[in-house]
Amino acid sequence: MVMDNLIHTDKPNLIEDIFSYDQIPRITFEGKIYEEIDGKLIQFYPADLLTRDIHITDTTFRDGQQARPPYTVEQIVQLYGMLSKLGGPNGVIRQSEFFLYSAKDKEAVQKCQELGHAYPEITGWIRAEKRDFRLVKEMGLKETGMLTSCSDYHIFHKLHKTREKAMSNYLAVVEEALSVGVRPRCHLEDLTRADISGFVLPFVQELMRLSEQVPEELKVKVRLCDTLGYGISFPGALLPRSVPKLVYKMIHEGGVPCDRLEWHGHNDFHKVHINGATAWLYGCNAVNTTLLGFGERTGNPPLEGAVIEYIGIKGDMNGIDAMMITRIAEYYRNVIKATIPERYPFVGTGFNMTSAGIHADGLSKDERIYNIFDTRKFLGRPPRVAITDK
């Protein structure tokens, strides 16, 4: 047997600069990555993730309530408090959005405001209607999301409008928000089925033009909404489904700065987490998430997954209290009575439990062999072995 390339060693190479057991595994990059856009090979620099202010936003109390029984006011207050502890004092979890329509919605916002947490900042969500801004002002919020559906499926078949009429209406509402001192965050609903050059970019360019006329704290934000989970992270994928191309176009042709760009995805094709991480990678600073991924239909990017991804990318906790992930899961099980799949990463009752005999043997010799990191240290969850008839 030829073993000319085999490196002989008496000491194992455990690649501990990446897989140090007492840290979340580092996500490391080398050099540049490339994406062909409009016939040009564009360079991207993954190392920028270390210096960019990437962060997480939350929609547990908006999108997260659209596919399950609504939370009670007390549950919202408790979860919001735990979100604040999880994200820490540096605002890794930067914002959380709330409905504002019912008396219960308003009570929940008021009680969360009374907690006095700097993060996550409480923001609203409204329809693109001028009269709804009174709700935002009444609650004393500085920012609100507003629905600006952008695919022709929505413009023609849901709103029964032309592109011109839809854009005109959206811009009028944005101007109303700016006039009363509220920062609008435009949610480009169904972006991954939209005509990017024919509608989306002209609309976004107008939003940026309006932003030039107002102070920094009022400049419009843009949320990229993959409403049906059609987004694709693969190199070479075409618009409107390509996440890298969408982010690039918004920044370089739409004129949206990284710090005013946000990704919002859905999990219809099992791509929700990787699409969010890809948006971070290509220049979008914020990824919108929900606790445990609960959300409309198949759900949104799981917030706890984004937290672990953030730590891996940054190589730093940055004030995150990861133990709160376990506390939050326990609250869902014991108080909210929500069902969490047993094998769900980081929070399932069996996520780090092995039932395979050969795995149990390895675990007994060195728990690093079959445990992803020191789950006891970060999540309060030591690895376990299940004894079965096998």
CATH at 64 = 3.20.20.70
pLDDT score of 387: 65
Q: Quick check: is 87 in a domain?
A: yes
Q: Do 262 and 366 fall within a single domain?
A: no
Q: Quick check: is 189 in a domain?
A: yes
pLDDT score of 330: 98
Tell me which residue range forms the domain holding 246. Answer: 42-320
Cis peptide upstream of residue 240 (ω within 30 degrees of 0): yes
Q: Do 151 and 267 fall within a single domain?
A: yes
**Number of domains making up the chain:** 2
Cβ–Cβ < 8 Å for 341, 348: yes
Q: Using one digit for the tens of pLDDT, what is the confidence trace for 101-111?
A: 999 999 999 99
pLDDT score of 390: 59
Show which of 320, 351, 376 is a domain's final residue. Answer: 320
Q: Do 117 and 151 fall within a single domain?
A: yes
Cβ–Cβ < 8 Å for 143, 124: yes
Q: Do 364 and 295 fall within a single domain?
A: no
Q: Quick check: is 48 in a domain?
A: yes
pLDDT score of 68: 86
Question: What are the residue ranges in the chain where pLDDT is below 50?
Answer: none
Determine the Cα–Cα distance for residues 353 and 107; give it in Å rounded to an integer.
41
Q: Do 380 and 275 fall within a single domain?
A: no
Q: Do 348 and 223 fall within a single domain?
A: no
Q: Quick check: is 311 in a domain?
A: yes
Count the alpha carbons within 13 Å of 46 in the hemisphere toward its beta carbon: 13
Q: Do 240 and 363 fall within a single domain?
A: no
H or E stretch covering 138: helix 133-138
Q: Do 84 and 117 fall within a single domain?
A: yes
Q: Quick check: is 170 in a domain?
A: yes
pLDDT score of 1: 58
Show which of 305, 320, 335 is a domain's final residue. Answer: 320
Q: Do 229 and 370 fall within a single domain?
A: no
Q: Do 347 and 296 fall within a single domain?
A: no
Q: Quick check: is 390 in a domain?
A: no
Cβ–Cβ < 8 Å for 150, 194: yes
pLDDT score of 378: 97
Q: Do 361 and 268 fall within a single domain?
A: no
DSSP letters along 193-255, please?
GS-IIIIIHHHHHHHHHHHTTS-GGGPPEEEEEETTS--B-STTPPTTTBHHHHHHHHHHTS-
Q: Do 261 and 367 fall within a single domain?
A: no
Q: Quick check: is 371 in a domain?
A: yes
pLDDT score of 363: 63
Q: Quick check: is 350 in a domain?
A: yes
pLDDT score of 217: 97
In 3D space, the residue among 208, 64, 61 whose CA is nearest the CA of residue 124 turns out to be 61
